[in-house]
Amino acid sequence: MENYQYTIWILILPFAAFLFTGILSGKLKPSLTATISIGAIGIATALSYLAAIQYFFLNASESYTAVEAASFTWYRLSDTLVIDMGILIDPISVMMLVVISTVSFMVHIYSTGYMKGDDGYARYFTFLSLFSFAMLGLVLATNLIQIYVFWELVGLSSYLLIGHYYQKPSAVAAAKKAFIVTRFADLGFLIGILMLSYYTGTFSFSDITNPDGPLITQTIGGTFLGLSTLTWAMILVFMGGAGKSAMFPFHIWLPDAMEGPTPISALIHAATMVVAGVYLVARMFTVYSLAAPEALEVIAFIGAFTSLFAALIAITQTDIKKILAYSTISQIGYMMMALGVSGYSGEAGLGFTASMFHLFTHAFFKALLFLGAGSIIHAVHSNEMKDMGGLRKHLPATHITFLIATLAISGIPPFSGFFSKDEILAAAYASNKLYFAVEYLVAGLTAFYMFRLYFNVFWGKKRTYENIHESPASMTIPLWILAFGAAFAGFLPFSHLVTTDGIPFDTHFHLTIAIASVAIALTGIFIAAALYRKESTRSQKIAATLGVFYTVTKEKFYVDEIYLFITKKIIFNLISKSIAWFDRHIVDGFMNLTGNTTVAASFRIRKFQSGNIHQYALVFLTGVLIATLVYLYYYPK
Amino acid sequence: MYNLNILLLVPILTLAGIMFVKDARNARVVAAIGMSVQLVLVFVLLYMYLAERNAGNMEEVLFYQDITWYESLKISYTIGVDGIAVGLIVLTGIVIFAGVFASWLMKDLVKEFFFWLILLATGVFGFFISLDLFIMFVFFELAVIPMYLLIGIWGTGPKEYSAMKLTLMLMGASAILLVGILGIYFNSAPDGGAMTFNIIEISKVNIPIAAQRFFFPMVFIGFGVISALFPFHTWSPDGHASAPTAVSMLHAGVLMKLGGYGVLKVAIYLLPEAAGEMATFFLIFVAIGVIYGALSAVMQRDLKYINAYSSVSHVGLILFGLLMLTKTALDGAVLQMISHGLITALFFALIGMIYGRTHTRMVNEMRGLMKVMPFLSVAYVIAGLASLGLPGLSGFVAELAIFVGAFSHPEPFYRVITVIAVSSIVVAAVYILRVVAKMLMEGVKDESYNDLTDARWHEKLSVISLLLFIAAIGLAPLWLSDMIMSSLEPIIMRLN
Amino acid sequence: MIEDIPLSHILIVSTLIFFIGVYGFMTRKNMISMLISVELVLNAVNINFVAINRYLYPERLEGHFFTLFVIGIAAAEAAVAIAIFINLYRNIRSIDVDEVTEMKY
Amino acid sequence: MSFSDILLMRNELLLVAATVVILIADLVFAADQRKQFYYFSVFLIFIVAITGLFPSESGSIFGGMYETGGLQIMMKNILNFSTLIVLLQSWGWFSQVKQQKRIGEFMILLLSTLIGMGYMISSGHFLMFYLGLELATIPLAALAAYDYYKSKSAEAGIKLILLAAFSSGILLFGISLIYGITGTLYFGEAGQLINGSTLSVLGLVLIFTGLSFKVSLVPFHLWTADVYEGSPINVTSYLSVVSKGSAVFIMLIVLNTVFASLNDIWDTLIYTIIIITITIGNLFAIRQRNIKRFLAFSSIAQAGFIMLGVIDNSAFGVATVVYFILVYMFSNLAAFGVASAISAETGKESIDDYKGFYGTNPRLSLVMMLAMFSLAGIPPVAGFFGKFFLFTAAAEKGYYILVLIAVLNTIISLYYYLLVIKVMFIEKSDSPIQFFSSNLPMKISLVICVLGLVITGFTSGVFDYMVAVSDQLFSSI
């Protein structure tokens, strides 16, 4: 048993940085705040790499087993149901540690350049520390409640950072939307946790995901609509994951979340937080795979559908960050689908490995894309593609790194995306041909819209820019580092590191699939080049011929409008308003009515007291007579 | 040993001090000193209690005192505390402390204001330490009646109407409660022997089931109304909206918890069989209240109305947890009492402070306060996050325990109703974030707002003292929940 | 002899007088008449006491004495009542009972 | 019959002596010495009241016609002190020029009713009871009509005397029926001979209604409001506390001695009457604007509450009633004291005139507030304890529904008591009653009342003692 005690500092340091800079906010110099945050995440990154090396490469045994590095009782719900806070070291958590700390560290450094001179500079770094803490805590969680706790905390930091420009109405609205949509999804997650804890009596992952544990080996609960209780619970858990990972139909918050500063989009809304849903499914994969395969089918379907759906929307968007956002949704759909088609143990678990692999590579190239986009925006002060074009001269470093990332996401060898995407396609092919077909198509679409973006920004029409210059070194260095990752991460022997049951296996290289996928990617690239490399009107013509279909995609399939209709019209106006009215007029009205009736009655009966002695005597006598008669009737002796 | 009487003595001395102070403005100083001493004493109590428990004292209540008062009726001045009471006393100490500082700038009839405020707090402290149904009832009413004057004289808006409605509804409930208490008293010696008002004594006998069935609804409704039990909650929005800041704080923060505490210690503890039988019926109303309060809050425009309806929803969760009758849910309910007490007090304090500056409580009339009063705005955001159950703040642990406990009930119906109640957390996010977005964010709407100042020292003191405990409970709930859990044992034993 | 008249007859008479008094009290507008009606009621009671005493419990004289006291008190009552009537008459120039309804509701 | 037996009548004898002395002193003191005369008279009554506190033996004289014991002494003490307080509160009214020379008259009338009440409470025989009752009633009519320049006062007197005569006619008819059945007029003997025959039930109903008239229970209450409103305010307070209290006391005694065996019958009777009395009293009180009329209806409702204790025919029930009367005396006299101070100072008797009163006269307002809280039954003032014990008494008999109706009615009553507080404390006025300083006797009386309100509830000894002495009523049977 190795000692991973030090991993606790990975959590403590960012949290301490958050508390310290948060409480002293306004008292510290902004640059000092940034330094503290960067220092904390820097050390945490180093420790993460240490842990990764120790876990993967200094491990003597054949397979990887989960290790609880630390644990303490945080809260006791009952004698048996105890919530721990701890650190769980296993392949996926260590892999995530590396991803998160690397990207976060890069984004920290990048932000010192990108956010320079911003009013909320110090606040930004404080929240960045909070996010790093929450995200690291999420992946290290040992139990369902801990993961839920940090799940909410990443949601909070996402909310805070999307709303960084809080004076901008659209940012405020986007932040709110992100929080509420994910909150709604989390409701399912929470109910799922409640169901699981009720049937298993524990929150701990090691108990729940134990392949020989009671949850998996025994049937629990009854069935509902033909699915077992456990399946329902797992679907609800997935609902939480779907919310965070912006799966259809919860995807609507992510494009809006681009209102946040671009480094935030890179860190939270591309590389780390949004894949938390994938991570969650992976974390519970044993249960899904062995005890709730129907739930896994749902995941596969949602993943596949979302990846296609988002890719279609991405084609028509003009805001570069929105394109990247839809691309993210689409890529996460890939990962979800891969998990959904995966089996358990050995080579059947290829989908799982592929999904994690893609998560890993995606983090690098997508973060890089966003940071590159940030660099572009930093230079031209716009998000819209129409304001760009021919930037390759002005922003050479950004251009090269962006191209690497674009090639990587398009699945062009030898860049990292190729390897992971190839495994996903192989896994899909082995499991379900339909999903394979969809994902194959999406691969082509991805290459197309990414190069559409690339050509539009860096090639296309020439324009003159005022005062344009390449970003400072604090921004370009992270770009290069990430570009390195995006280029070479694909060579990691992932199936030897991350597998469903911790036992490494060998993957075979699927030549046909590889060739096919590269072929479609190249097709996409060529179409994009033909349309966008030079300024032309061809694309508009095509758009015009597509007509309604084009409009519908451009309007994102009107999902936002449907949501707006349900929330504004139905929930707010119909339900909430009527309840508020009911409360004021019926419930409260009844209480007032009681009072008013009493007062009215008091006026009604005042004639009773007429002031006339005759009447007084009459009432008196009537009283006597009634009493007499009643008693003579009831007590006749 | 700790003498609980000191918890009453200090407020009474403060009252006397306020009465005899020469300059009316100094009344606030007297009140502040008195309540600071009280706060210290409350923490000494907490410390002593934990020390005593750690030393292995497993008595049901600690610091027990029993002085016979009315020989002929076996009324005695019986006091003592268990973990639940200690938790709530701590809550009260904090809230009244914060309340005094929140009303530091009170202008007219200062002496009278602090007099009634502290009197109200005295009633609450007395309520939590009493173990005799009679004196419990006395303190209960003592805590309610100052509300009339506090709202009527120092309130805003339709204050006379609100004050009257609140008082009549709450006193009406306590009237029903009185019948329930008398019923318990006269059935407290089913096998002959002396009847008693002493809760500890009564808990040792089994009240005949017929009597339990008859009196449980009375006790439950009697205590429930002050916890805004649907459909008797309508005093709450009007009352809170009209009340001055400190009164809203104390009322929503502490007084509404008297109901939950009473339901637990009287209705459930003394009438366990009836509680088991009738819980389902009342749960329907409580669950309606939880959802209904949340949905009503969504459409409100007045900050205080929003918070009042939100309180209906959150305090509804207390009753919800209590009626589940499982240990975890009871624990959650008690935690929710403390947690919601702190959060809502913080909310009302902040609303009062914002209102004192902008002179409006309408959400859509304000905008961009974050820029001009960052301290208050940040505090408001934290309060909102705590209220919507964000982990790391106190609301989460309480609600989690309630939901887990409720869900672990073997009846499927209970689980269904739990799912309904759980969904209120989404609605909570909606109405809280709506306010945060509209009121605090974006640019300043009214130019004159740029001249507004941020919190003064006494306001900061008030806010920070509340924030501190919200975070403390949220981050490290274990000691508190263990303290409550061990005190729930006797109740659980009665329920089985 | 008086024993030839059964007690019930006397009681019927007294009850009749009682109700005549009550009826008078309810219908007379003049206060003096009302006072007289009350005297009738009291006299009905007196008849009751005397008759019951004489017929049923002749060995003790409680009923007779009670009657004497009732007569005496009735006189006192009448004195005070008439004094107040005069006072009222001075104020409103009437002793019609329908006139004294200044205070009501 | 020895001298020491005569001393059992100590209270009444002293009162008679005081009356005679006042009668003479009225002649002795000159016209410009009315204040001294007033103080002298009050002092005499004070002596009488204090003497009542000394321990006294219990026993019966005049062949059982006059009975005395701890319970009776307790009741008489309450009445004596109430009278004393009423007199203390009267100086403001006496000091008005037109009343000055009639102080003696007032005192004598008042004291004779008190003597009547003493005999009534101590009676063991219907004759004594009747004499006491009439002695306690007829002078009251004269007192009600005391203000002979006001037609309202005369109207009050007329309503009182005519209806009182009518009701005593009915009461007497009832007594004659009881006499017909049992052949005796002694309470004790009659109680043993009553067997539940039709006639005895009829007698019970008639006697009960006669007493209900005095206690002003619905539907026998109609005189109350008019008489209270028309009478001078101090007479009103006397009527509402002393006269009503004495009637309740004798009702307790008669029901529990003569009609003890018909308990289940008068239980149901009272049950019904409580419900209508409280409800009607409350409903009428809600919209009253004249303080005297307001307190009249409130006292009707209070009478209904008092019956909750009467319904419990045990030592405990009796004690709760006596205790409540004591508390009620403090609360009602405090309220009337404030009202009479205002009335004597400004002549204002409408609640609406009290607007903004707290701003100008905070102390009087606070006294009024305490009184209102006590009447409404709000802790920690004594009224709460009084009401609580009454409810306990009714609950002891198992009448939970009745208690429920009663407690819900306390909410209506709380509403109108709060209205008074609202007017004084919350509402603002352009021309509030200006600040004035009450005279010394009034201050003393209010201090006594406030102390009584605050202390009585906390000193459990009073109530426990009452329970002990009340036992006598039941042990003798």
Outline where DSSP puts E strands in B147-200: none
Please determine, for residue A123, whether its predicted confidence score (pLDDT) is greater than 70: yes
Record the tokens describing residue B409, joined without a space.
Answer: 């009930």
A372 contacts A402 by C-beta, under 8 angstroms = yes
The verdict on a CB contact (< 8 Å) between D166 and A620 is: yes
Record the tokens describing residue D57, joined without a space.
Answer: 């033996």
Q: What is the mean pLDDT of residues A516-522?
A: 89
pLDDT tens readout for residues A394-440: 888 888 999 999 999 988 888 888 888 888 888 888 888 888 999 89
Longest pairwise C-alpha distance within chain C: 56
Residues 150-209 of A with CB under 8 A from B: 150, 152-153, 156, 163, 166-169, 172-173, 175-176, 179-180, 183-184, 187, 190-191, 194-195, 197-198
Helix axes B133-144, B146-154, angle to 10 degrees: 10
pLDDT tens readout for residues B190-216: 887 888 999 998 998 889 999 999 999
Residues 39-68 of D with CB under 8 A from C: none
H helices of C1-105, where?
7-27, 31-55, 62-92
Residue with token string 């104020």 = C91
3-state class (DSSP) for residue A70 = strand
Please determine, for residue D136, whether its predicted confidence score (pLDDT) is greater than 70: yes
Please determine, for residue B71, whether its predicted confidence score (pLDDT) is greater than 60: yes
Record the tokens describing residue D326, joined without a space.
Answer: 């004591």
**Phi, psi (degrees; rounded to nearest 5) at D123:** -70, 145
Q: What is the mean pLDDT of residues A104-121?
A: 89
Q: What is the mean pLDDT of residues D71-98?
A: 91
Please determine, for residue A315, whether its predicted confidence score (pLDDT) is greater than 90: no
**C-alpha dihedral sign at A417, A423, A424, A429:** positive
**C-alpha dihedral sign at D179, D180, D181, D183:** positive
- Number of alpha helices (DSSP H) and beta strands (DSSP E) in chain A: 27, 4
Q: What is the mean pLDDT of residues D392-405?
A: 92
Q: What is the mean pLDDT of residues B350-354?
A: 92
Give me the residue from A77, A156, A169 closest to B401, CB to CB.
A77
Q: What is the mean pLDDT of residues B423-429?
A: 90
Q: Assess if residue C104 is contained within a domain.
A: no
Q: Which amino acid is it at D289?
A: R
User: Which residue on chain B is closest to D366 by alpha carbon?
Assistant: B112
Is A619 in CB contact (< 8 Å) with chain C? no
D143 contacts D235 by C-beta, under 8 angstroms = yes
The verdict on a CB contact (< 8 Å) between A611 and C27 is: no
Our CA-based measurement puts residue C35 at a distance from the nearest CA of chain D, in whole angstroms, of 7
Residues 222-241 of D with CB under 8 A from B: none
Q: Assess if residue C105 is contained within a domain.
A: no
Mention every residue, 6+ apart, whose C-beta is less than 8 A from residue B26.
Answer: none
**Rounded to whole angstroms, how far apart are CA atoms B397 and B332?**
8
Q: Which is nearest to A374 in space by CA: A255, A244, A529, A267?
A: A267
Q: How many CA atoms lie within 13 A of A253 on its CB side?
A: 29
pLDDT, mean over chain A? 87
3-state class (DSSP) for residue D418 = helix
Residues in D closer than 8 angstroms to A613, CB to CB, are 158-159, 162-163
pLDDT for the residue A201: 83
**pLDDT-derived band of residue A619, with 50, 70 and 90 as boundaries?**
very high
The verdict on a CB contact (< 8 Å) between A180 and B426 is: yes
Pairing mode, strands B75-81 and A67-76 = unpaired
Is A617 in CB contact (< 8 Å) with chain C? yes
Please tell me what DSSP assigns to residue D155.
Answer: H
Range in A534-543, B155-164, B236-245, B312-321 the model is least confident about: A534-543
**Rounded to whole angstroms, how far apart are CA atoms A269 and A446?**
18
Burial A404-423 (b: 16+ CB within 10 A, else e): bbbbbbbbbbebbbbbbbbb
Mention every residue, 6+ apart, whose C-beta is less than 8 A from residue A277.
Answer: A238, A240, A241, A242, A243, A244, A245, A246, A247, A332, A336
H helices of B271-326, where?
272-298, 303-324
**Phi, psi (degrees; rounded to nearest 5) at B2:** -105, 135
pLDDT tens readout for residues D164-202: 999 999 999 999 999 999 989 999 889 999 888 888 889
The verdict on a CB contact (< 8 Å) between D152 and C52 is: no
Residues in A closer than 8 angstroms to C97, CB to CB, are 612-614
Q: Assess if residue C24 is contained within a domain.
A: yes
Q: Express the helix, strand and coil content of chain A in percent, nearest 5 each.
A: 75, 5, 20
pLDDT for the residue A573: 80
Structural domains of chain C, count = 1
Is B166 in CB contact (< 8 Å) with chain A? no
The verdict on a CB contact (< 8 Å) between D201 and A602 is: no
**pLDDT-derived band of residue A557, with 50, 70 and 90 as boundaries?**
confident
Do B and A have ≥3 inter-chain CB pairs under 8 A?
A: yes
**Which chains does chain B touch, 3 or more C-beta pairs < 8 A?**
A, D
**pLDDT-derived band of residue D50, with 50, 70 and 90 as boundaries?**
very high
C21 contacts C38 by C-beta, under 8 angstroms = yes
Q: For the residues of A32-61, what is the DSSP string, one character each?
A: HHHHHHHHHHHHHHHHHHHHHIIIIIS--S
pLDDT for the residue A637: 59
Our CA-based measurement puts residue D161 at a distance from the nearest CA of chain C, in whole angstroms, of 6
A14 contacts A132 by C-beta, under 8 angstroms = yes
pLDDT, mean over chain B? 90
Q: Which residues constitute the domain of residue B139? A: 5-495
pLDDT for the residue A536: 73
Q: Which residues constitute the domain of residue C41? A: 2-99
3-state class (DSSP) for residue A468 = coil
**Phi, psi (degrees; rounded to nearest 5) at B407:** -70, -25
Is D172 in CB contact (< 8 Å) with chain C? yes
Q: Which amino acid is it at D225?
A: A
Q: Which is nearest to A501 in space by CA: A92, A53, A28?
A: A92
Give me the residue from A75, A183, A575 closest to B478, CB to CB.
A75
Our CA-based measurement puts residue B494 at a distance from the nearest CA of chain A, in whole angstroms, of 17
Q: Assess if residue C13 is contained within a domain.
A: yes
pLDDT for the residue C1: 62
Q: Residues A313, A315, A317, A323: what is their CA dihedral angle, to the nearest 10 degrees?
A: 90
**Rounded to whole angstroms, how far apart are CA atoms A525 and A411?**
11
D107 contacts D267 by C-beta, under 8 angstroms = no
Q: What is the mean pLDDT of residues D231-235?
A: 92
pLDDT for the residue D477: 47
Structural domains of chain B, count = 1
Do C and B have ≥3 inter-chain CB pairs under 8 A?
A: no
pLDDT, mean over chain D? 91
**Rounded to whole angstroms, how far apart are CA atoms A357 and A282?**
12
Q: Which is nearest to D292 in space by CA: D360, D348, D233?
A: D233
Please determine, for residue A507, whether its predicted confidence score (pLDDT) is greater than 80: no
Report the CATH number that the domain containing residue C94 is assigned in CATH: 1.10.287.3510
Task: Return the bridge partners of A254, or none.
Answer: none
Burial A126-156 (b: 16+ CB within 10 A, else e): bbbbbbbbbbbbbbbbbbbbbbbbbbbbbbb
Please determine, for residue A338, whether its predicted confidence score (pLDDT) is greater than 60: yes
pLDDT for the residue A2: 64
Give me the residue from B163, B175, B179 closest to D400, CB to CB.
B179
Q: Which amino acid is it at B94?
A: I
**pLDDT-derived band of residue A1, with 50, 70 and 90 as boundaries?**
very low
3-state class (DSSP) for residue D89 = coil
D→A interface, C-beta within 8 Å: 158-159, 162-163, 166-167, 170, 196-198, 201-202, 204-206, 208-209, 213, 219-220, 222-223, 225-226, 265, 269, 280, 283-284, 286-287, 412, 415
Residues in B closer than 8 angstroms to D391, CB to CB, are 178-179, 182
Please tell me what DSSP assigns to residue A496.
Answer: G
**Phi, psi (degrees; rounded to nearest 5) at D397:** -80, -5
pLDDT tens readout for residues B287-296: 999 998 999 8
**Rounded to whole angstroms, how far apart are CA atoms A195 and A199?**
6
Is A609 in CB contact (< 8 Å) with chain C? yes
**Which chains does chain A touch, 3 or more C-beta pairs < 8 A?**
B, C, D
Please name the helix (run of DSSP H) or strand (run of DSSP E) that holds residue A610, with its range, or none: none
D150 contacts D231 by C-beta, under 8 angstroms = no
3-state class (DSSP) for residue B82 = coil
Q: CA dist A525 to A131, A333, A446, B381, Å?
A: 36, 21, 9, 47
pLDDT tens readout for residues A275-310: 999 999 999 898 888 888 889 999 999 999 999 999
Is A594 in CB contact (< 8 Å) with chain B? no
Q: CA dist D291 to D294, D350, D417, Å?
A: 5, 6, 11
Give me the residue from A605, A608, A620 closest to D167, CB to CB.
A620
Our CA-based measurement puts residue C63 at a distance from the nearest CA of chain A, in whole angstroms, of 24
**pLDDT-derived band of residue A64, with 50, 70 and 90 as boundaries?**
confident
Residue with token string 């404080």 = A126
Please determine, for residue A636, whether its predicted confidence score (pLDDT) is greater than 70: no
Residues in A closer than 8 angstroms to B401, CB to CB, are 75, 77
Please determine, for residue A213, whether its predicted confidence score (pLDDT) is greater than 90: no
Q: Is the peptide bond before B374 cis (omega within 30 degrees of 0)?
A: no
pLDDT for the residue A220: 67
Record the tokens describing residue A585, joined without a space.
Answer: 């007029």
The verdict on a CB contact (< 8 Å) between B168 and D378 is: no
